Structure 1
Amino acid sequence: MKKISVVIPCYNEEENVGPMAETLVGLFRHELAAYDYELIFIDNDSQDRTREYLRALCAENHKIKAIFNAKNFGQFNSPYYGMLQSTGDATVLMAADFQDPPEMIVKYVAAWEEGYKIAIGIKTHSAENPLMYHLRSLYYKWIRKLSEVDQIEHFTGFGLYDKSFIQVLRDLDDPTPFLRGIVAELGYRRKEIPYDQPKRRAGKTSNNLYKLYDAAMLSVTSYTKFGLRLATFLGGITLVVSVVIALIYLVMKLLYWDRFQAGLAPLLIGMLFLGAVQIFFIGMVGEYVLTINQRVMKRPLVVEAERLNFESEDAEETR
């Protein structure tokens, strides 16, 4: 019997983990009864009662497993690490808040059985703030034009991945993984399945402007040369413009020595402009250096504090 692993990252999802587990167990008992399954909840140091509820779920069903991180390791490392712990013939990654519809798993498995090693969901509409959805659309279009890799628009990571691709992720050994870019760059032939993203079932999202910026910059620094090339081009253009202005001022001063007053305003404006350009690109280069630094340090993706229900599987493998 083939086995499907479902990885569900969570952070402060006390209102959602129970209903999500119940929904998924029901899905495998009815629509996907021909498959064995495991549900892996990986908790990113929740501050509410999420872990308490996960302990109860694991006690009731040995196929429900949990990993408790020692601290919050970010929105990318924790899901990625959870996928690496899966043991199924295919692994599904989805959010705990029901914005990734569980019924999509049936479609993913059908595509997998057709021969696709990757089946992913593409948002065609979202119940989130319309302004945020359109800003995301602009971002995706912008990053696709700048990236050397054909990035996937409105893809959050929600999808099914064959165990052969999970092995690719294990071999990659990337301490700062960006799954959306990795799927686009290294993934097998995939099937993209459209879906409408509903609102969160309950609770409040942990995403904020800083986390969205962090995701955008990781994508930019990992898959584009845009920032560095822009600094080079703008620096060259600024140099040419500065030389031309300097020559014009020199000629004007020589021709109209007594009447032409250069003043301090052009000098002050020029200094402020060049200073702003330098500070901006020092920050941009810093983003690239930060990404390089994180990769060079080779820190672990996650440090576990505890894991539940993995021991029974290890014992079976030993026998």
Structure 2
Amino acid sequence: MKRISVVSPCFNEEDNVAACYEAVKAVFERDLPGYEREHIFVDNASTDRTVEILREIAASDRHVKVVVNSRNFGVFKSTFNGLRHATGDATLCMLPVDLQDPPEHLPEFVRLWESGYEVVAGARSTREESLPLRIARGIFYRIVNGLSDFEISPDVGEFQLIDRKVLDAVLSHDDHYPYIRGIIASVGFRRVIIPYTWKARKRGVSKHNLLMLTDQALNAIFAFTRAPMRFCTLAGIAIALFCIVFALASVLLYLSGFGNAPRGTTTMIVAIFFLSGIQLLFIGMLGEYITAIHNQVRGGPPVIERERINIDEAEAETRPAAPVTKLPRRPA
């Protein structure tokens, strides 16, 4: 019997984890009776009852595995580490417990995977979100796709079913801050895209605020494109050409008697502040690259696990995983 793994990251989702578990379980029982279910919950050190609920679920269902992190490492690092524990023939990379990505599409994903597609990607063709956020996403993906060596669909996230060999290729990346959808796109393989409606959250509060989304966008841009450095190069050339043209025009006007070379403090102040701003912008871009390089070469595990539940130690040793620290349970 083939096994399908599902990875669900969570943080302070006591209102949603049980509903997510029941929804996935119902899909397998109703539409995928011939497949073994493996549901991996990765908790980012929740401070509510999320871990307690997950323990109760895992105690009654051996198909549920739980990884509890020692602190909140962020959704991408946490999910990437959760993928290391997936043992299925195919893996749904991310199913957030808020069910904005509907698990009802999983049977269709499995059918297409069985037909020969190695990556079945869900595309959020319809989003129940604000217009400014949709516009910002469109601009971001135009930048990434315009200056990268591969294409990331503007509507495709981590809601993707990937084959075992694709997962192995993804996990071979030693990335301190993994941008999972970008890594999947970069490894290639035969892919099909299935559109779906990204639903609005029904319970709880989203943990993805503007700062987190901005951080994820910058990580993708600096990790998978040449956009920042290309912008620096083009801007430098444009400023240099403008200065040359301006200098030649000033000399010609002075020699022809139609004007004098510009003088006064206004021109100097504008020029100084403009060039200073450009320099600070470029320094900031270089700083982003240096920070990313520093985090990568500094080493150390991207995620530290506090606890594993229903994860066989021998099975966990078959692929690299984050170190686990055994700590005493907190009293209920």
TM-score by length of 2: 0.88
Task: Answer whether contact 1:84 1:169 (CA < 8 A) is retained.
Answer: no
Query: RMSD value over aligned CA atoms?
Result: 2.3
Q: Which moved more, 1:306-315 or 1:84-93?
A: 306-315
Query: Match for residue 92 of structure 1?
Result: 92
**One-letter identity of the residue aligned with 2:286:** V
**One-letter identity of the residue aligned with 1:6:** V
Deviation at 1:212, TM superposition (A): 1.2
Q: What do residues 149-186 of structure 1 show as CA deviations (whole Å, max 9, x unaligned)? A: 11222111101111111111222222221111111110
Task: Answer whether contact 2:250 2:261 (CA < 8 A) is retained.
Answer: no
Map residues 125-144 of structure 1 onto 2, 5 A cutoff: 125-144=126-145
Map residues 210-221 of structure 1 onto 2, 5 A cutoff: 210-221=211-222
Deviation at 1:297, TM superposition (A): 2.3
Query: Match for residue 147 of structure 1?
Result: 148
Query: Match for residue 311 of structure 1?
Result: 312
State yes or no: 1:280 paired with 2:277.
no
Q: What do residues 280-314 of structure 1 show as CA deviations (whole Å, max 9, x unaligned)? A: 11111211222222222233221100011113875
- Take 1:295 and 1:9, find their aligned partners in 2: how far apart are those partners? 23
State yes or no: 1:80 paired with 2:92.
no
State yes or no: 1:269 paired with 2:270.
yes
Task: Answer whether contact 2:251 2:261 (CA < 8 A) is retained.
Answer: no
Deviation at 1:253, TM superposition (A): 6.4
Query: Match for residue 40 of structure 2?
Result: 40
State yes or no: 1:23 paired with 2:23.
yes
Map residues 145-294 of structure 1 onto 2, 5 A cutoff: 145-249=146-250, 262-294=263-295
Task: Answer whether contact 1:249 1:262 (CA < 8 A) is retained.
Answer: no
- When residues 186 and 312 of structure 1 are mapped into structure 2, their CA distance, relative to the original with a 3 A threshold, is closer
Task: Answer whether contact 1:68 1:304 (CA < 8 A) is retained.
Answer: yes
- Take 1:291 and 1:312, find their aligned partners in 2: how far apart are those partners? 32
Percent identity (aligned): 35
- Take 1:67 and 1:165, find their aligned partners in 2: how far apart are those partners? 22
- Take 1:141 and 1:173, find their aligned partners in 2: how far apart are those partners? 26
Deviation at 1:73, TM superposition (A): 1.1
Q: Which runs of 5+ in 1 are unaligned?
A: none
Task: Answer whether contact 2:42 2:69 (CA < 8 A) is retained.
Answer: yes
Q: Secondary structure at the match of 1:172?
A: coil
Q: Which moved more, 1:196-205 or 1:170-179?
A: 170-179
Task: Answer whether contact 1:31 1:106 (CA < 8 A) is retained.
Answer: yes
**One-letter identity of the residue aligned with 1:193:** I
- Take 2:228 and 2:264, find their aligned partners in 1: how far apart are those partners? 35
- Take 1:153 and 1:213, find their aligned partners in 2: how far apart are those partners? 16
Deviation at 1:38, TM superposition (A): 1.2
Aligned length: 316
- Take 2:295 and 2:150, find their aligned partners in 1: how far apart are those partners? 22
**One-letter identity of the residue aligned with 1:79:** T
- When residues 36 and 260 of structure 1 are mapped into structure 2, their CA distance, relative to the original with a 3 A threshold, is closer
Q: Which moved more, 1:49-58 or 1:231-240?
A: 231-240
Q: Which moved more, 1:261-270 or 1:142-151?
A: 142-151
**One-letter identity of the residue aligned with 1:40:** I
- Take 1:260 and 1:120, find their aligned partners in 2: how far apart are those partners? 61
Q: Which moved more, 1:258-267 or 1:61-70?
A: 258-267
Query: Match for residue 113 of structure 2?
Result: 112
Q: Secondary structure at the match of 1:158?
A: strand
Deviation at 1:123, TM superposition (A): 0.7
Task: Answer whether contact 2:69 2:304 (CA < 8 A) is retained.
Answer: yes
Q: Secondary structure at the match of 1:99?
A: coil
Deviation at 1:57, TM superposition (A): 0.9
Task: Answer whether contact 1:157 1:179 (CA < 8 A) is retained.
Answer: yes
- When residues 259 and 201 of structure 1 are mapped into structure 2, their CA distance, relative to the original with a 3 A threshold, is closer
Deviation at 1:72, TM superposition (A): 1.2
**One-letter identity of the residue aligned with 2:54:** L
Task: Answer whether contact 1:119 1:192 (CA < 8 A) is retained.
Answer: yes
- Take 1:71 and 1:120, find their aligned partners in 2: how far apart are those partners? 30
**One-letter identity of the residue aligned with 2:32:** L
Q: Secondary structure at the match of 1:14?
A: coil
Task: Answer whether contact 1:39 1:64 (CA < 8 A) is retained.
Answer: yes
- Take 1:87 and 1:130, find their aligned partners in 2: how far apart are those partners? 39
Deviation at 1:146, TM superposition (A): 2.2
Deviation at 1:135, TM superposition (A): 2.3
